[in-house]
Amino acid sequence: MRIAVCPGSFDPVTIGHLDIISRAAKIFDKVIVAIAVNPEKHFSFNEDERKDLLRTVAKHENLNIEIDTVEGLLADYAKEKGATAIIKGLRAMTDFEYEFQMALTNKKLNPELETLFLATSAENMFLSSSMVKQVAGFGGDISNFVPECIADRIIERLSGGKK
Ligand code: PNS
């Protein structure tokens, strides 16, 4: 069985993430969406909330994926789960340096593990969780940026009553 890990902060999950995850699910027998737990990083949604948002989206979209959290190194986690690939979306050249650095580091830590990049769909080139949070924070319309089934929850949480 070919297993892939789609790691990320998913703070919150966007339609860009959803596009990459569902494309990965067509290629691999099993896809584990691994939510990073990093105590040094400030997240707007805690681990359980990010997991719950992803679960809602997976159910709504009928996605056959596993949702989990990764607390240590991704390279170790992938080994533990029997995964042979990490799948990441690449939006533009601006993503490349950071992603390349992570891919090479993970390869050194776990030589059996390949990082595969999927080119983001053209309509999601500009999209990021940070941008979604900023728009929602000002009470703006995020309906084109996040799956519809979770949009209200994100707005309610981030708009601070502006909407
Ligand atoms: O969505 P993001 O924030 O770009 O995802 C970053 C993520 C989760 C892929 C990265 O921070 C990660 O792999 N974290 C797990 C800890 C780890 O293995 N760090 C070293 C990676 S080179």
CATH code assigned at 44: 3.40.50.620
The response to whether residue 104 sits with its C-beta less than 6 Å from ligand 1 reads no
CB 122 within 8 A of CB 30: no
154-157-42-55 Cα dihedral, nearest 10 degrees = -40
pTM: 0.95
Alpha helices, H only, the chain: 15-27, 47-60, 74-81, 93-109, 129-137, 148-158
The response to whether residue 70 sits with its C-beta less than 6 Å from ligand 1 reads yes
SS3 89: strand
Least confident of 19-23, 37-41, 146-150: 37-41
Tokens matching residue 105: 């580091």
In a domain, 139, yes or no: no
| pLDDT greater than 90 at residue 40 | no
Domain of 99, in residue numbers: 3-122
Pair type for strands 66-70 and 114-119? unpaired
What average pLDDT is seen over the chain?
Answer: 95
pLDDT band at 162 (very low <50, low <70, confident <90, very high): low
In a domain, 163, yes or no: no
In a domain, 141, yes or no: no
Domains identified in the chain, total number: 1
Q: State mean pLDDT over 143-149.
A: 96
Summarize pLDDT for 89-116 with one digit per residue, the tens: 999 878 899 999 999 999 999 999 999 9
Does residue 129 have an active-site annotation?
Answer: yes
Query: What pLDDT does residue 140 have?
Result: 93
SS3 87: strand
Q: Which member of 81, 91, 107, 153 is catalytic?
A: 91
Q: Which residue has the higher pLDDT, 83 or 38?
A: 83
CB 37 within 8 A of CB 69: yes
In a domain, 138, yes or no: no
In a domain, 9, yes or no: yes
SS3 55: helix
In a domain, 82, yes or no: yes
Ligand 1 centroid to residue 155 C-alpha, Å:
26
In a domain, 44, yes or no: yes
| pLDDT greater than 90 at residue 53 | yes
In a domain, 130, yes or no: no
